Amino acid sequence: MAQCNDLFILFDANIALKSEKKQSLRTSRNAIRKKIQDHFAQTLKASKPKFWGQGSYMMNTTIKPIEGEYDIDDGVYLAHLAGEKEENWPAVSTVHNWILKAVDGHTTTPPVDKNTCVRVIYKNDYHVDIPIYIKVDDAEHPKLAHKTKGWVDSDPKLLTNWFNCEVTEKGLQLKRIVRYFKAWKDSKKGSDKFPSGMIFTILAANHFVEGYEDDDDAAFVATAKAIYDALNSSFSLTRPVFPEEELFDGWSEGIQTTFLSKLSTLIINGQKALEKDDKKEVADIWRKLFGDRFPEYTSPEERVDKGHAFQTSSPAIIGNHGRSS
Catalytic positions are 71, 73, 129
User: Rounded CA gap, 197 and 183, in Å?
Assistant: 10
- Helix or strand run (H / E) with residue 253: helix 253-275
C-alpha torsion 62→64→66→71, nearest 10: 50
- Helix or strand run (H / E) with residue 35: helix 19-42
**Among candidate residues 325, 273, 322, 261, the one with its CA nearest the CA of residue 297:** 273
Distances (CA, A) of 46 to 30, 37, 39, 49: 20, 9, 9, 9
**Among candidate residues 291, 270, 292, the one with its CA nearest the CA of residue 282:** 270
Question: Are 199 and 237 spatial neighbours (Cβ–Cβ below 8 Å)?
Answer: yes
Q: Are strands 132-134 and 70-77 parallel, antiparallel or unpaired?
A: parallel
3-class SS of residue 164: helix
Task: Report the greatest alpha carbon distance in the chain.
Answer: 85
Q: Which runs of E-coded beta strand occur in 23-111?
A: 50-54, 70-77
User: Rounded CA gap, 66 and 186, in Å?
Assistant: 7
User: Rounded CA gap, 125 and 107, in Å?
Assistant: 13
